[in-house]
Structure 1
Amino acid sequence: MILLISVDNDTMIDEICDWLSYLKKEFIRLNENQKITKVFFDFKNYVFKISINNIEYNLDDIKSVCNLPILSNTQK
């Protein structure tokens, strides 16, 4: 699963989401107006989860993170 972090109205991430959907790849898009509503860490059992819009995600399932706004700011 891929975590995409973006700002609202980010057309580049829109295109990436379209491409990932076409390839039937799992991804989560986290926009600046969304909030992580729950964080659960169980260090004893190695369980790490977050909830975004009341949907729970296991952090072990996320294999890649893409944050293009930050990348583009570092290239200036």
Structure 2
Amino acid sequence: MARNAYCNTSRLSAREAVDATIVCMGNVLFDASVSNGACTIQDLLNAGFTCAEIIEHIEDAREYAARRLALQDA
């Protein structure tokens, strides 16, 4: 799934864009995990995230995805 399917950060402030990137990346992680059992770095690159974005935001995105998974399982 391409990143643009999840978010468009072009009209957001810097802080909002970071938050949106984390949510978008988290959604990619969640969707790939649900459908494939895991999400790889290549999945994130294919979704349009840069290496720098992945390095910077992966931990927060993982936490977001984990919260979504926990809500789904509740």
Check whether TM > 0.5. Answer: no
Larger radius of gyration: 1
Q: What is the TM-score of this pair, normalised by structure 2?
A: 0.32
TM-score of the two chains, using structure 1 as the length reference: 0.32
Higher relative helix content = 2
